[in-house]
């Protein structure tokens, strides 16, 4: 009896393994690229991966995508890189979970002679120096993206407009860049009356905005450092029935935010181009493998999306949607 | 009907261990077959080292978790202790404290956190789930406070040497793991402390009547939990050369999974610490093999979840038959 159950459990396990859609192809293609986003549970990275998949298909190379299951962590990324090297990938594109956490992973790539391309979040120079590796970077300047939002605000709002900023997680570089990009552009023209961290979260954006509104009932503009917080802010503004008085600008151009811009419920959101990062990553890592020249640094750009260009951006995004 | 059976001596534990080993070998064989079918390598010496290295942190944390689960308790704070050790140890290193001293300080601190958990559980009579649910949050919060939620990096090379040296070609982290398990297997099997821990989990009232100071022993068990969590934290810090305040999130569940796959009952009193290592290696093999096969990440979690249930399901086959 025990034996039967034993066999049964093992069979369950193996059928589970075989039935789930393993993307490994029986015939190994010439080139396999390992692609490591931070996670696979938000639209931004899914778009990036879809761009990479399309490019890989076009170039006739295989793309293996692996990410941490929920929280991006340096430990999970090191394990993934080790296993990809064991599986014999020829090159790796990676979005680091942190700018400083990849020392060990890069060393593995270096000793296995696997070229690496850094996407979206730049690896610190000190880390690259320590490892002794030149790694190309393709991504967006968060500071410049937020500055674009700031310039739009300065051009379209009267001097002294009462403005609030919602920031991301304290201590994160991209949170600081987005905050500073906006702040530095508007500080001499608009009147920043409040600044609070809402840790990138919708619910915290909502409560922070409630508090800001009760302290500043005459607020006119909110810059939220990501669309999640912007959506939370919008709920609080609607609840206070101040939609006509308070305008909101977000960041990331997630599909829900684009809809809100289209319906005039949000003033704008800063778009980055994750799909371009994925495309360029695959293209250049294949070049590196083939010994062809590789771009060392590409700014994939950021643009403020408003009612004027939202349809155009929605059409562009469609080709990388799931 | 629970009887405080003596570990190791009874026949049914041996059968249980045997089926666990057969299961582990089968998983290994299946992955070797699947990987070679897809033209990838799984069964290589280098990959064996990889799997043990990748499992080392969870395997070490799971030693402490095993001891606590044997007393009939649970420790949810171990993952937070891993994060705390990274930031606290990292800051000490950055301020110029020598590596050996840092290891000593953080291990003692981790052990103290465990003992505080133990005092509330044993003398305070608060259920362990609740105490450690609270301390999990407190310790994670302390970790954030220590460095304002920021990571720490840029460490001296001596830190990397803790797990990155080789002795006669064998990575030292592997030697540490086996050594720690050997020590604790001996403690649990050959010492009074070990027998008392089994006795508490088997039948606390009988243990009390037999004159065992159950509060003190229980407190020591939680001290082990903190001790091994902080050793695991040092391993991780050394492996990554980077301390993240969120590090170790969810590790308590991975450790519990290793313990139950290894066959220690959550009700306590029964099971084999050595088998926890096999449990940790099974989890490590699954993660590694599924990644090499490039199975999408969410299917990996589904398969690992199925494995946990399947392992305990097999374990209970005997009891079901008896009914």
Residue B250 sits at the chain A interface (C-beta within 8 Å): yes
8 Å CB contact between B227 and B111: yes
Q: Do B239 and A75 touch (CB under 8 A)?
A: yes
Residues of chain B with pLDDT under 70: 1-13, 318
Exposed/middle/buried for B191, CB within 10 Å: 0-12, 13-18, 19+? exposed
CB contact under 8 A, B38 and A25: yes
pLDDT (0 to 100) of residue B13: 54
**Cβ distance of A84 and B23 shorter than 8 Å:** no
Distance from C-alpha of A112 to C-alpha of A141, rounded to nearest angstrom:
31
Report chain A residues whose CB lies below 8 A from the CB of B292: 83, 86-87
The 3-class SS string of chain B reads CCCCCCCCCCHHHHHHHHHHHHHHHHHHHHHHHHHHHCCCCCCCHHHHHHHHHHHHHHHHHHHHHHHHHHCCCCCCCHHHHHHHHHHHHHHHHHCCCCHHHHHHHHHHHHHHHHHHHHHHHHCCCCCHHHHHHHHHHHHHHHHHHHCCCCCEECCCHHHHHHHHCEECCEEHHHHHHHHHHHHHHHHHHHCHHHHHHHHHHHCHHHHHHCCCCHHHHHHHHHHHHHHHHHHHHHHHHHHHCEECCCCCCCHHHHHHHHHHHCCCCCCCCCCCHHHHHHHHHHHHHHHHHHHHCCCCHHHHHHHHHHHHHHHHHHHCHHHHHHC
* Token output for A227: 């669309």
Write out pLDDT tens, residues A238-255: 999 999 999 999 999 999
Q: Which of A32, A138, A38 is nearest to A95 (CA)?
A: A38
Q: CA A52 from chain center: how many Å?
A: 14
If we measure between CA atoms, which residue out of B176, B177, B171 comes closest to residue B59? Answer: B177
Cβ atoms of A151 and A185 closer than 8 Å? yes
What is the rounded CA–CA span in Å between residue B35 and residue B23?
Answer: 18
- Please indicate whether, in this complex, the C-beta atoms of A103 and B242 are within 8 angstroms of each other: yes
Per CB-CB distance under 8 Å, the chain B contacts of A16 are 302-303, 306
Contact B240/A10, CB-based, under 8 Å?
no
Helix (H, G, I), strand (E, B) or coil at A70: coil
- Backbone phi, psi, residue A46, to 5°: -65, -40
Which residues does chain B have within 8 Å of residue A83's beta carbon, measured at their own beta carbons?
Answer: 50, 287-288, 291-292
Residues recorded for chain B: 323
Note the pLDDT tens digit of each residue in A173-206: 888 999 999 999 999 999 999 999 998 889 999 9
Task: Give residue B6's pLDDT.
Answer: 47
Paired sense of beta strands A191-197 and A247-252, if any: unpaired
Cα-based distances in Å from A111 to A79, A97, A104, B78, B228? 16, 22, 11, 33, 32
The DSSP bridge partners found for residue A222 are: A164, A248
Closest to A151 (Cα-Cα) out of A190, A123, A115: A190
Which residue from A22, A74, A101 is facing B294, i.e. has the nearest CB?
A: A22
Confidence tier at A98 by pLDDT (50, 70, 90): confident
- Tell me the C-alpha distance between A259 and A257, whole Å: 5
Per-residue DSSP letter, A273: -
Tokens at B46, concatenated: 């280098």
Query: B247: which chain A residues are within 8 Å (Cβ-Cβ)?
Result: 73-75
Taking residue B145's Cβ as centre, other Cβ atoms within 10 Å add up to 11
* A188 and chain B in contact, CB less than 8 A: no
Q: Which of B310, B316, B318 to mutate to test the interface with A (most CBs of A within 10 A)?
A: B310
Give the pLDDT confidence score for residue A22 in this predicted structure. 46
The predicted structure's pLDDT at residue B2: 42
Q: Which A positions 255-284 lie with beta carbon below 8 A of chain B?
A: none
Q: Looking at the complex, does the CB of residue A134 fall below 8 Å from at least one CB of chain B?
A: no
pLDDT at A16: 47
Q: Please, which residues 68-107 of chain A have a Cβ atom closer than 8 Å to chain B?
A: 68-71, 73-75, 78-80, 82-84, 86-88, 97-98, 100-104
Interface test with A, best of B249, B294, B321 (most A CBs within 10 A): B294
pLDDT at residue B194, as a whole number: 95
**Residue of A4, A8, A10, A72 best to disrupt the B interface, most CBs of B under 10 A:** A10
Alpha helices in A168-254 (DSSP H): 173-186, 202-215, 227-239
Q: Could you tell me whether strands A221-224 and A247-252 are parallel, antiparallel, or unpaired per DSSP bridges?
A: parallel
Q: Do B294 and A74 touch (CB under 8 A)?
A: no
Q: Phi and psi (nearest 5°) for A73? A: -145, 150
Nearest to A196, CA basis, from A175, A181, A177: A175
Q: What's the rounded Cα separation, in Å, for the pair A22 and B41?
A: 16
B32 touches chain A (CB under 8 A): no
Give A-chain residues touching B241 at CB under 8 angstroms. 103-104
Q: B26 at the A interface (CB within 8 A)?
A: yes
Whether A74 and B247 lie within 8 Å, measured CB to CB: yes
Average pLDDT of chain A? Answer: 89
Instruction: Give the confidence band of A132 by pLDDT, cuts at 50, 70, 90.
Output: very high
CB-based burial label for A150 (10 Å; 0-12, 13-18, 19+): buried
Tell me chain A's radius of gyration from C-alpha atoms. 22
Q: What angle do CA A197, A200, A206 make, to 5 degrees?
A: 70
State residue A161's pLDDT score.
96
Say whether A169 and B149 touch across the interface (CB within 8 A): yes
Which of B38, B150, B299 is nearest residue A24 as measured by Cβ atoms? Answer: B38
Residue A25: band (very low, low, confident or very high) from pLDDT cuts 50, 70, 90: very low
Q: Is residue B126 exposed (0-12), middle (13-18) or buried (19+ Cβ within 10 Å)?
A: middle
pLDDT for residue B40: 87
Contact call for residues B256 and B250 (beta carbons, < 8 A): no
Instruction: Give the closest residue to B242 by CA, choosing from A280, A292, A252, A96.
Output: A96
Q: Which whole number is the average pLDDT over A279-305? A: 94
Q: Which residues pair with A249 in a beta bridge?
A: A223, A268
Q: Does A30 touch chain B (CB under 8 A)?
A: no
Out of B34, B151, B297, closest to residue A40 by CB? B297
Q: In the numeric block, which tokens belong to residue A112?
A: 């296995």
- In the block, residue with structure tokens 């070990």: B194
The angle formed by the CA atoms of residues B297, A57 and A282, to the nearest 5 degrees, is 75
User: Any CB–CB contact under 8 A between A28 and chain B?
Assistant: yes
Band of the pLDDT at A20, cuts 50, 70, 90? very low
Burial profile A283-308: b = 16 or more Cβ within 10 angstroms, e = fewer: bbbbbbbeeeebeeebebebbbbbee
What predicted TM-score, i.e. pTM, was given to this entire model?
Answer: 0.85
- pLDDT over threshold 90, residue A9: no
Note whether A104 contacts B294, CB cutoff 8 Å.
no
pLDDT attached to residue A94: 96
Q: Are B39 and A23 in contact (CB under 8 A)?
A: no
Q: Chain B within 8 Å of A40 (Cβ-Cβ)?
A: yes
Yes or no: say if B295 and A17 are a contact pair by the CB < 8 Å rule: yes
Please name the residue of chain A whose CA is at the shortest distance from the CA of residue B235.
Answer: A75
DSSP state for residue A305 in the 8-state scheme: E
Output DSSP code: residue A225: S
């Amino acid at each position: 009896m025990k034996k039967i159950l034993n066999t049964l459990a093992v069979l369950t396990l193996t059928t589970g393994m075989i039935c789930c859609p393993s993307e490994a192809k029986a015939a190994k293609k010439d080139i396999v690229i390992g692609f490591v986003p931070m996670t696979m549970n938000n639209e931004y990275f899914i778009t990036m991966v879809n761009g990479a998949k399309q490019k890989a298909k076009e170039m006739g190379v295989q793309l293996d995508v692996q990410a941490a299951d929920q929280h991006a962590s340096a430990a999970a990324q090191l394990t993934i890189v080790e296993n990809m090297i064991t599986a014999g990938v020829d090159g790796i594109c990676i979005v680091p979970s942190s700018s400083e956490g990849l020392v060990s992973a890069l060393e593995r790539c270096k000793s296995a002679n696997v070229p690496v391309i850094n996407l979206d979040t730049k690896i610190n120079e000190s880390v690259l120096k320590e490892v002794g590796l030149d790694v190309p970077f393709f991504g967006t300047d968060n500071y410049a993206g937020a500055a674009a939002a700031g310039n739009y605000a300065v051009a379209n709002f009267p001097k002294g407009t009462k403005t609030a900023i919602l920031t991301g997680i304290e201590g994160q570089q991209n949170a600081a860049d987005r905050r500073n990009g906006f702040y530095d552009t508007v500080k001499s023209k608009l009147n920043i009356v409040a600044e609070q961290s809402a840790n990138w979260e919708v619910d915290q954006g909502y409560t922070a905005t409630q508090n800001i509104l009760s302290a500043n009932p005459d607020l006119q503009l909110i810059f939220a450092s990501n669309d999640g917080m912007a959506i939370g802010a919008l709920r609080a503004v609607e609840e206070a029935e101040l939609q006509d008085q308070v305008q909101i600008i977000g960041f990331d151009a997630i599909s829900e935010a684009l809809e809100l811009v289209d319906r005039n419920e949000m003033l704008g959101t800063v778009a980055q181009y994750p799909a371009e990062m994925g495309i360029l990553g695959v293209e250049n890592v294949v070049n590196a493998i083939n010994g062809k020249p590789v771009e060392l640094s590409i700014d994939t750009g950021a643009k403020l999306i408003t009612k004027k260009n939202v349809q155009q951006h929605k059409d562009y995004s469609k080709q990388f949607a799931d | 009907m629970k009887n405080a059976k003596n570990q190791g001596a009874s026949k049914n534990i041996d059968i249980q261990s045997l089926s666990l080993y057969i299961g582990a070998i089968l998983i290994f064989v299946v992955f070797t077959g699947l990987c070679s079918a897809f033209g990838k390598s799984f069964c290589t010496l280098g990959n064996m080292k990889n799997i043990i290295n990748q499992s080392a942190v969870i395997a070490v944390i799971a030693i402490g978790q095993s001891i606590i689960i044997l007393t009939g308790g649970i420790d949810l704070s171990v993952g937070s202790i891993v994060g705390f050790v990274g930031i606290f140890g990292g800051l000490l290193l950055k301020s110029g404290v020598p590596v050996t001293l840092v290891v000593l300080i953080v291990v003692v601190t981790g052990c103290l956190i465990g003992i505080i958990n133990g005092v509330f559980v044993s003398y305070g009579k608060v259920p362990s789930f609740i105490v450690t649910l609270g301390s999990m949050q407190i310790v994670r919060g302390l970790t954030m406070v220590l460095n304002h939620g920021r990571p720490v990096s840029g460490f001296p090379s001596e830190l990397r040497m803790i797990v990155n040296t080789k002795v006669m070609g064998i990575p030292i982290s592997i030697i540490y793991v086996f050594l720690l398990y050997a020590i604790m297997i001996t403690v649990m099997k050959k010492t009074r402390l070990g027998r008392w821990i089994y006795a508490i989990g088997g039948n606390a009232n009988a243990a009390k009547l037999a004159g065992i100071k159950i509060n003190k022993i229980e407190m020591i068990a939680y001290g082990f939990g903190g001790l091994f969590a902080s050793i695991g934290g040092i391993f991780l810090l050394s492996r990554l050369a980077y301390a993240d305040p969120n590090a170790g999130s969810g590790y308590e569940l991975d450790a519990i999974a290793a313990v139950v796959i290894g066959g220690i009952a959550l009700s306590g009193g029964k099971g084999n610490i050595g088998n926890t290592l096999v449990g940790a290696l099974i989890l490590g093999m699954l993660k590694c093999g599924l990644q090499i096969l490039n199975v999408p990440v969410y299917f990996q979690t589904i398969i690992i979840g199925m494995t946990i249930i399947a392992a305990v399901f097999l374990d209970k086959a005997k009891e079901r038959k008896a009914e």
